[in-house]
Amino acid sequence: MLFALICTDKPDHLQVRLDTRPGHVAYLEGLNAKGTLKFAGPFLDEAGKPTGSLVVVEAADSAAAELIAEADPYARAGLFASVEIKAWNWVFNAPQGA
């Protein structure tokens, strides 16, 4: 089952994001190697600065998706004001086997 992790950064936490980015990228690369990560990227403001993240993962259930979200170095560093986890169905332009 697919889950969208919709993460909103705390205001004025850009430096936390920048400092934690290498660990976050390594974490996502590990999820990708396992086939868990489907896609991910930052939300941007009008100036092109990141304000949050969208991460779509495959997990057995919402509890497993929550564990994935909690283990993200961004979450551990306290970057996010909120994380919403929603079951998601990839209907259009899904790659084979998604």
Residue boundaries of the structural domains of the chain: 2-88
Say what the pTM is: 0.93
pLDDT-flagged residues of the chain (< 50): none
The CATH number of domain 2-88, selected from 3.50.40.10, 3.30.70.1060, 3.40.50.720, 3.30.450.20: 3.30.70.1060
Closest CA to 52 of 64, 61, 44, 60: 44
Question: Strand 37-44 relative to strand 50-58: parallel, antiparallel, unpaired?
Answer: antiparallel
Query: 79-92: per-residue pLDDT in tens?
Result: 999 999 999 999 99
- Beta-carbon contacts of 91 under 8 Å, excluding residues fewer than 6 positions away, are none
Taking phi over 0 as left and psi of -120 to 50 as alpha, with beta for the rest, 97 belongs to left
Q: Are 40 and 32 in contact (CB under 8 A)?
A: no
pLDDT at residue 97, rounded to an integer: 63
pLDDT at residue 98, rounded to an integer: 62
